[in-house]
Amino acid sequence: MITKKISIIAGFCAAAFTLASCSDDFLEVTNPTGEPLNEYYTDDQHLSESLTSAYAPLHWPDWDGSAYNDLTCDAEILGDDFWVGGSSISDNQHWHKLFNFEGDGNNTLGTLWGDFYSGIKRCNDVIQYCSWGGGTETNRRSYEMQARLLRVYYYSILWHYYGNVPFYLENLSSPYTATQLTADEIYNNLLPELEEIIASNVLPMRWTAAESGRVSQAMAYMLYAEMVMYQNDSARYPQALTYMKQIIGDSNYSLNPDFTDLWSENGEWCSESIFEINYDDDNAQRDWGTPLHAGGTVFPTLCSPNTWPGGEGWDTGMDGWGFLPMRLETYNMYADNDKRREATCWDVRGYTYTERYQDTHIWHGKYRPQTANCQDCPSSKNLNYNNNKRIYRYAETLLNAAELLLQTGGSASEAASYVNEVRARAGLDALNGVTIDDILNERHLEFCGEGKRYFDLVRAEGISGATEKASVKLVPDTYGYRTNSWTASKKHIPLSQSELDADPTLVQNNY
């Protein structure tokens, strides 16, 4: 009896042994939240998703979890319209160092590099997925072309700041390094690519309202003009002028009648807008722990006074960090009747708050914080203002066209008429004729605080007849803040030490 029982148990155990023995099936597990790439990127929907992810890095630089490298701040601290500010000279120290032209491998725009190379990598992926032939041809062509144009844009920012950067159009595999090209080589690679994109004519001049945010043919034209003019590449001026005139001739684009309204939520993607980086507070997923998620921007928080007592549409208790105080001289450069002053300069002389470093009581008006602009975000409000970052607008098309006309010996009166269109909106009298300096000055007034001034000053070095240029304007100030002068070697900021460490073949810029 007992023996029988024990035999049954032994039999049961033997069965358990067999059942539990290993098999390959047992070792296969599936990932609950991911699909193989070659199975997934085979239809319009999924290709479109990959393209969306290629746009995402556009919104990262203002706060990417490591550093604040907002595109406006990065450019304006190098220029002559703003101070750096912040709580002290050690707050966001890399800006203070770059402001005084004494950056180094540890005090540079390190993370901007990483953010936009992520963009480049994602664009390369989209282009590869499209080459697999999934989805409809029309959509696929559009996705591919958007990715190519976006990729040129990402490279152009790196090219502006760093000049000599690693360049690749297909994603890297082992040993994961790319050749560093000189700034001129980068330019010579990007321009033909840009010309090919434009020639393909795949992208619309303007996207529908629901698709606003995508790169368009007009955006390609603006990027083309910007790069050509920054390179002082006169051979391409006629082509750039043609592109500007195409935008001017397009009924989709015109100046927004009211300059102040341009900077409101209503002014986003108005008829004047050619390209913006989209931020929003509605359903923002961005928070301090998820900086790369879609949401609003921290820029209005960065560039606003600390301990604001409330008023001007910005409630008490809202957070301001005191970066980018506007120079008094910048306020004063506007004529009293220039309507742009009120929108550009947020004059809070008369308000009392805790002053931070280099405070002037005049702040960046175009992106000044408004409680209404962040109140809908479900997470940290100071990180989620809905202000889109304006990159290209029609006013620049006009001023580009005017400048290119002068450079190519075109009609001077036509050039003046473009400038006067911009001036008229500002409430200023028309000029009879314009010089290069007039145009640069108009750009200064029109685009103050939009990250264009510094690059205008640098390229003016290569424009004959221009007096508003870097070597003249970017010199020690009377306040003792900037003690060093800009020189040609400062055109390209230092590469990050960490990247030089990771890829020893990289050559540091001679800053």
Partner 1 sequence: MSLALIVSMVTRAQGILGTVTDDLGEPVIGASVVEKGNPQNGTITDIDGQFTLNVNEGTPIIISYIGYLTQEVKASSNMTVVMKEDAQTLQDVVVIGYGVQKKSVVTASIAKVSAEDLEGKTRLRADDALKGMAAGVNVTSSSGQPGSQSMIRVRGTGTINDTNPLYIIDGMPADQYGLESVNPNDIESIEVLKDAASGAIYGSRAANGVILVTTKKGKMGKAQINYNFSYGWQTAWKHREVTGATDYAILQNEKYINGGQAPLYADPYNLTDANGNAIKGFGTDWQELLFNDNAPIVQHDVSVSGASEKVNYYLSMGYYTQDGIVGGNYGKSNYDRLTIRSNNNFNIIDATKERNFLNKLDVSANLSYMRVHSTGVDANSTWGSPLGSALYLAPTLPVTLTGSIAEDMINQYAAYDLYRDENGDPYTIPGFIGSYQEQNNPIALMQQRPSQGWSHKFMPKFAIDLQLWDNLKYHFTWSAEQSFWGSESATTEKFYFSGNNNSDHTQASSEKANSTSWQIENTLTYDKEFGKHSIGVVLGQSALKYKGSYVGASHWNLINVNKPYVDYTTGGSVQTTTDAEGHIIGVTSLVSGWAGPYVEHHLASLFGRLSYNYDEKYMLQATIRRDGSSRFGSNNKYGVFPSVSVGWNIMNEKFMESTRDWLTNLKFRASWGKNGNENIGDFRYTVLTTSGGTSNYYFGRQASMVYGSKANGLANEDLKWEESEQTDLGLDFGFWNNKLTFTVDYYIKKTNGMLMTMPIPSYVGETKPIGNVGDMENSGIEFELGYKFNISDAHFSIKGNASYLKNKLKNLGNDTGFLNYGISQFSDGGTRAENAEPFPFFYGYKTAGVLQNTAQAAEYNAKYGSNSNPGDLIFVDMNGDGKITSDDRTKIGKPTPDWTYGLNFDADWKGFDLNVFFQGVYGADIFDATWRQDIASGNYPTWVLDRWTGEGTSNKLPLLKLGDSKNWVCSDIYIQDGSYLRLKNISLGYTLPRNLTKKAYIERLRVYVRAENLFTWTKYWGFDPEIGSSSTSMGVDYGVYPQARTWTIGFNLSL
- Footprint on residues 169-188 left by partner 1 (CB under 8 A): 171-173, 175-178
Closest approach of partner 1 to the CB of residue 115, in Å: 9
**Residues within window 123-142 making contact with partner 1, judged by CB under 8 A:** 125
Q: How far apart are CA 91 and CA 300, in angstroms?
A: 17
**Per CB under 8 A, does 307 bind partner 1?**
yes
- Respond yes or no on whether the N-terminal peptide bond of residue 32 is cis (omega within 30° of 0): no
Q: Segment near partner 1 (CB under 8 A), from 55-63, 342-350, 397-405, 419-427?
A: 55-63
Instruction: Examine residue 482 and tell whether it contacts partner 1 (CB under 8 A).
Output: no
121 near partner 1, rule: CB under 8 A:
yes
Long-range contacts of 36-40 (CB under 8 A, 24+ apart): 37/129, 38/132
The closest alpha carbon to 379, from 279, 282, 483, belongs to 282
Smallest separation, CB 317 to partner 1 (Å)? 4
Q: Among residues 11, 313, 317, 476, which is the contact residue for partner 1, using CB under 8 A? A: 317
- Give the binding-site size for partner 1 (rule: CB under 8 A): 121
Contact 51, 146 (CB under 8 A): yes
**DSSP run (H or E) holding 160:** helix 137-161
Give the span between the Cα atoms of 136 and 499, in whole angstroms: 40
What span, in angstroms and rounded, lies between the C-alpha atoms of 26 and 49? 33
Q: Is 39 exposed, middle or buried (0-12, 13-18, 19+ CB in 10 A)?
A: exposed
* Residues in Cβ contact with 15 at an 8 Å cutoff, skipping those fewer than 6 apart: none
Residue 106 contacts partner 1 per CB under 8 A:
yes
* 3-state DSSP assignment of residue 275: strand
Query: Quick check: helix, strand or coil at residue 152?
Result: helix
Q: Which stretch binds partner 1 (CB under 8 A): 87-95, 219-227, 414-422, 463-471?
A: 87-95
The rounded distance, in Å, linking the Cα atoms of 295 and 173 is 32
- Closer to partner 1 by CB, 236 or 368: give it: 368
Q: Which of 72, 118, 344, 400 binds partner 1 (CB under 8 A)?
A: 118
Q: Which residues pair with 364 in a beta bridge?
A: 345
Residue 354 touching partner 1 (CB under 8 A): yes
Q: Is 400 in the site for partner 1 (CB under 8 A)?
A: no
- Which residue from 68, 321, 363, 394 is in contact with partner 1, where contact means CB under 8 A? 321
Distance CA 157, CA 145 (A): 19
Rg, C-alpha atoms of the chain: 27
Q: Per-residue string for binding with partner 1, 5-34, x by CB under 8 A? A: xxx-xx--x--xx--xxxxx-xxxx-xxxx
Measured from the CB atom, the residue of 30 and 432 that comes closer to partner 1 is 30
Residues within window 253-282 making contact with partner 1, judged by CB under 8 A: 265, 268-269, 278-282
- Nearest approach, Cβ of residue 226 and partner 1 (Å): 22
**Local structure of 435: helix, strand or coil:** coil
Are residues 44 and 135 in contact, defined by beta-carbon separation less than 8 angstroms? Answer: yes
**Binding window for partner 1 (CB under 8 A); candidates: 71-79, 207-215, 397-405, 433-441:** 207-215
In order of 123, 205, 388, 403, 420, the CA distances from 225 in angstroms are 22, 16, 22, 11, 20
Query: Per CB under 8 A, which region of 288-296, 389-397, 419-427, 432-440 contacts partner 1?
Result: 288-296
Of the candidate spans 47-55, 326-334, 389-397, 446-454, the one that interacts with partner 1 by CB under 8 A turns out to be 47-55
Determine which residue in the list 49, 185, 195, 461 makes contact with partner 1, applying CB under 8 A. Answer: 49
**Residue range at the interface with partner 1 (CB under 8 A); choices 93-101, 183-191, 362-370, 400-408:** 93-101
